[in-house]
Structures are given as C-alpha cells and as structure tokens.
Structure 1
C-alpha cells in the first residue's frame, strides 16, 4: 500500500482514532435502540460515523494520486501552545484551583483571558480589536448561558460577589 496523500491519510487516521475512541467510550452507557435511545446512543452513532468518514478519507488517500504526495508541513508549535494554553487558562479562571489557592474568577474574566491569550497565536496582535472581540464574546456568553439557559456557574470573581 502506497500513501499518495500524506495529509489526507493522517487526517483520516485522526478521525478514525477519535471516532473509535468515542464509540468505545459510549458503550459504557446504556445505548438503547433507535426508538428508545439511551444516553450512549448519540455518542456511539457519532463516533461510528466519524470513524467511517476517517476510513473513507484514508482509503481515498491511498487511491487518488496527488501532486508530490501532498506532504505534511511543519508543526505550528507557537499556535498549538497558545491555543491549548488559552483553553487551560479559561478553565482555571472560570473555576479556580482551590488546591493552589487560586480563586474562581468567573465567566467574564475567563473569556477575556481566553480571547487575549488565543489572539497571541496569530501573526499580528491588535489590542483594540481583541478587546472589542472579548467584550462581544463575554456579553454573548452571558446572554446565552446565564440569562437564556439559566446555567449556574460563577460570572464574576468570587472576591467581588462574595
């Protein structure tokens, strides 16, 4: 078997692995039937569908000829670090880390932190644009999750609201 498109082959492999993992994890829940779906039905079907899509992409990568083998480029380490770091920071700011003495800062502060750190992954940084984006995201998130869905989690830092 000769791989004719490395990008497609490894993307399909990633889909296959993630879909298989979700499908396998969903079997620990009650799956049920199509008429009476259990909590594991949707993740199982989604995982199986994702795995099938991955297998089709991998098959296509071994059959369809591409120019110069469509090689995989360099890893974008800067972007990986900033995007993953932004998501970790969001979790820490939202809920805090009591074992380290870090208090919960709430949804609004967490969204500002997420937006500013994630924007550092790009090639250019404009404070004013990022601030406007963070404000829109914070207001939209507050409206959607706190006001409309009435979800219960900290919105403001705990030392402000008590």
Structure 2
C-alpha cells in the first residue's frame, strides 16, 4: 500500500496510537454507569474518539492522492521546547504561586513560542483565561486549586 500523504499518515498514526494508549490506560479505573460515570468513563471515551479520528486520517492518507505526497517538514524544535518548558513551569509554580499568577505566566511563556508576540494580545488573553479558569474550576467545579500565592494566604 502506498502512502499518498506523509503528513496525514504520520499525524493519523500518532492520533491512533495516543487514542489507543489513553483508552487502554483508562481501563485501570472504574467505569461506573452512564448515570454515574466513574473516573475511567471520560478518558476511555475520549481515547476511543481520538483513535477513530486517527484511523480516519490514516485512511485518508492511504487513499486520497495529495500533490507532491505532502511531505513532512522539519521539526520546529524551538516552539516545541518552549511549550513543554512552559507546561513544566506551570506544573511546578501552580501550588506555590496560585492560579492568578501562574496562568498568566504560562500564557506569556507559551506566547514566546510563536513569531508574532504582542504584549496587548498576551495581556488580554491572560485576563480572559485567568478569569474564565477561576470561574470554571474554582467557582463552578469547586476544585481545590490555590488562587493566590501561598505567602499571601488567600
């Protein structure tokens, strides 16, 4: 079988493998019922959906002809490393700095991965996402995420 789109083939394969891995990992948790889903219910369903999406993209890559074979370009190392570093900083800083300080820090660091950095856009995005995250996770879902740094005591 001939690969007709390299880009779709590799992305479909990545989605398929990640979906199967997540669905398989979710089988270690209780599923519960449809009325009262357990902790494995949502990740299993999401993993299956991701695997199905990967299968569709993989099928497209093997059946539909694309111009020039749609080759995969070079890996963009700088954005990849900046985003991974920003996520690590977020995970380390959240318990110490709280959501109100850590989320804007994550957004600023993640924005550095792109070519078009504008402070105004980063500022607006930080405010909207921080307020939205506070409303959703702390107020709405009542999760015990610290809002302020530990030395403020809020």
Paired residues for 1:43-54 under 5 Å: 43-54=43-54
Distance 1:33 1:150, change over 3 A: closer
Gapped runs of 5+ residues in structure 1? 96-103
Q: How many residues align?
A: 154
Partner residue in 1 for 2:70:
70
Following superposition, the deviation at residue 110 of structure 1 comes to 0.3
Which shows bigger deviation, 141-150 or 79-88? 141-150
Taking structure 1 as the reference length, what is the TM-score of the superposition? 0.82
Gapped runs of 5+ residues in structure 2? none
Taking structure 2 as the reference length, what is the TM-score of the superposition? 0.86
Following superposition, the deviation at residue 93 of structure 1 comes to 1.2
Distance 1:57 1:93, change over 3 A: same
Partner residue in 2 for 1:98:
none
1:90-113 per-residue CA deviation (whole Å, 9 max, x = no partner) reads: 111102xxxxxxxx1111110111
Paired residues for 1:93-112 under 5 Å: 93-95=93-95, 104-112=96-104
Following superposition, the deviation at residue 137 of structure 1 comes to 2.0
Structure with the greater alpha carbon radius of gyration: 1
Following superposition, the deviation at residue 117 of structure 1 comes to 0.4
Separation of aligned partners in 1, 2:45 and 2:81: 32
Distance 1:32 1:92, change over 3 A: closer
Distance 1:144 1:27, change over 3 A: closer
